[in-house]
């Protein structure tokens, strides 16, 4: 594949119940599409052709309900998109840990979260080192609260502290609220079928969005196969596309590639290199690098 790849997550409107949520505004997504319309490859175009001029393809991670909107915009303009789906929310009706953090941080101020966290475990925010990959977020932080949240997120993820994340999530969101969130947050089985019928590509993103590199060969195999087998079953076609969760160099390993070579044709990462010959480590760029791709600024923008 010789296309330039960009990936997207949340694309939505401002929601006052989640005042601090990080997302790309729907209007800006439309602007991106309009401004890049000539470069985006169309439904039915061959993705392996080496086009004379640089061509783009956009992909959408995590099977978010937001991607119904995105796929509708793409369909209207006859543009091809790739949608990478996790299957835990659909099969097991569970919210993914990675999203539990976004929901907590999107709804509450850092001081409220820290207060609750302290009651479980004592942490010192000043001691948390931010990896270089997160520096972009830090530089673009809107205020002190935002900076604290970036640090908290690093802390909760670094320790792979599912126990703490779940404890916090269950404290801040009642079981009933969690049930309501689940339905509105993720694409349903029928939504995925609908996006496929629009001519878009559906790919796997693992069953439960775990760090694949932290799992044994056997467990990685399960995470990948369960995911693509389900998608293949509901769409009645082979799944050829997969994106590793997070997708950076540390998020997958040689076992991942071995399993993927047996099962799919393309593996998408978030590596930043420009080498496009290897279909099992396809680089992708964050949409925030595009003009209009910045996260919504709740301090500056009109709500
Ligand atoms: Zn993801």
- pLDDT band of residue 284 (cuts 50, 70, 90) is very high
CB atoms within 10 A of CB 249: 15
Range(s) of the domain holding residue 157? 97-180
Spatial separation of the C-alpha atoms in residues 165 and 153, rounded to whole Å: 10
The answer on 172 and 199 residing in a single domain is no
How far away, in angstroms, is 48 Cα from ligand 1 center?
24
Domain count for the chain, please give it.
Answer: 2
Instruction: Output the CA 23–ligand 1 centroid distance in Å.
Output: 14
Closest of 222, 196, 227, 282 to residue 91, by C-alpha: 227
Residue 122 confidence class, pLDDT cut points 50, 70, 90: confident
In this predicted structure, the answer to whether residue 156 has a pLDDT above a threshold of 90 is no
For residue 1, what pLDDT is reported?
Answer: 81
The CA 245 to ligand 1 mean position distance, Å, reads 5
| pLDDT the model gives residue 108 | 96
pLDDT at 25 over 90: yes
Lowest-pLDDT choice from 35-39, 65-69, 76-80, 294-298? 294-298
Report the mean per-residue pLDDT for the chain.
Answer: 92
Kindly give the distance from the C-alpha atom of residue 8 to the centroid of ligand 1, in angstroms, as a whole number.
10
**d(CA 210, ligand 1 centre) in Å:** 9
My answer on whether 102 and 86 are in the same domain is no
Could you tell me if residue 136 is inside a domain?
Answer: yes
Q: Does one domain contain both 191 and 244? A: yes
Question: In terms of domains, do 203 and 229 share one?
Answer: yes
174 plus 220 within the same structural domain: no
Taking residues 259-276, what's their average pLDDT? 90
Which H or E element spans position 234? helix 217-235
Distance (Å) from CA 209 to ligand 1 centroid: 6
157 Cα–ligand 1 center, Å:
14
Q: Are residues 87 and 195 in the same domain?
A: yes
End residue of a domain, out of 180, 206, 241: 180
The pLDDT assigned to 161 comes to: 79
As a whole number of angstroms, the distance between CA 113 and CA 167 comes to: 11
Six-digit token string for 219? 């467990």
Residues 196-248 have pLDDT tens digits of 999 999 999 999 999 999 999 999 999 999 999 999 999 999 999 999 999 99
- Residue 265: how many other CB atoms lie within 10 Å: 15
Question: In this predicted model, what pLDDT tens digit does every residue of 173-193 receive, in sequence order?
Answer: 999 999 999 999 999 999 999
- Residue 86's pLDDT is 98
At residue 159, the pLDDT reads 59
Q: What is the per-residue pLDDT for 74?
A: 98
How far apart (Å, rounded) are the C-alpha atoms in residues 259 and 213? 12
Whether residue 299 lies inside any domain: the answer is: no
Q: What CATH number is attached to the domain comprising 213?
A: 3.20.20.370
**Residues 51 and 27 occupy one common structural domain:** yes
- For residue 64, give the DSSP letter: B
Examine the fold and report which residue of 150, 180, 210 is the final residue of a domain before the chain moves on: 180
Indicate the residue among 151, 180, 209 that finishes a domain. 180
User: In this structure, is residue 145 part of a structural domain?
Assistant: yes
Say whether both 104 and 210 belong to one domain. no
254 burial type by CB count under 10 A (0-12 exposed, 13-18 middle, 19+ buried):
exposed
Long-range contacts formed by 232-240: CB under 8 A, 24+ apart: 234/189, 234/192, 234/193, 235/192, 235/193, 235/196, 235/202, 237/196, 239/202, 239/203, 239/204, 239/263, 239/264, 240/203, 240/264, 240/265, 240/266
Distance 52 CA to ligand 1 centre (A): 31
Q: Are residues 227 and 279 in the same domain?
A: yes
In a domain, 241, yes or no: yes
- For residue 126, the CA-to-ligand 1 centroid distance in Å is 28
pLDDT of res. 301: 63
Give the Å distance between the CA of 55 and the centre of ligand 1. 24
What does the pLDDT read at residue 160?
64
Is residue 146 domain-resident? Answer: yes
Question: Do 194 and 282 fall into the same domain?
Answer: yes
Q: Is residue 295 part of a domain?
A: no
């Amino acid at each position: 594949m010789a296309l330039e790849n960009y990936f997207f997550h949340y694309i939505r409107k401002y929601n006052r119940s989640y005042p601090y949520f990080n997302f790309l505004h729907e209007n800006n997504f439309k602007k991106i599409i309009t401004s890049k319309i000539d470069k985006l490859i169309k439904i039915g175009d061959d993705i392996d052709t080496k086009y004379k001029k640089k061509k783009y393809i956009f992909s959408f991670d995590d099977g978010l309900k937001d991607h119904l909107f995105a796929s509708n915009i793409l369909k209207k303009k006859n543009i091809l998109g790739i949608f990478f789906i996790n299957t835990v929310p659909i099969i097991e009706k569970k919210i993914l840990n990675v999203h539990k953090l976004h929901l907590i941080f999107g709804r509450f101020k850092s001081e409220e979260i820290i207060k609750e966290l302290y009651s479980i475990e004592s942490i010192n925010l000043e001691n948390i080192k931010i990896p270089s990959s997160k520096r972009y977020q830090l530089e673009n932080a809107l205020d002190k609260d935002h900076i604290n949240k970036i640090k908290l997120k690093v802390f909760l993820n670094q320790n792979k502290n599912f126990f703490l994340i779940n404890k916090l999530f269950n404290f801040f969101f009642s079981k009933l609220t969690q049930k309501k969130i689940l339905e509105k947050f993720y694409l349903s089985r029928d939504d995925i079928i609908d996006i496929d019928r629009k001519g878009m590509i559906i790919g796997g993103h693992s069953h439960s969005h775990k760090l694949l590199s932290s799992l044994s060969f056997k467990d990685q195999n399960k995470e990948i196969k369960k995911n693509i087998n389900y998608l293949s079953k509901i769409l009645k076609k082979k799944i050829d596309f997969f994106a590793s969760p997070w997708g950076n160099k540390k998020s997958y390993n040689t076992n991942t590639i071995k399993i993927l070579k047996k099962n799919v044709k393309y593996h998408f990462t978030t590596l930043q290199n420009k080498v496009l010959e290897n279909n099992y480590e396809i680089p992708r760029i964050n949409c925030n690098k595009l003009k209009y791709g910045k996260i919504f600024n709740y301090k500056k923008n009109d709500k």
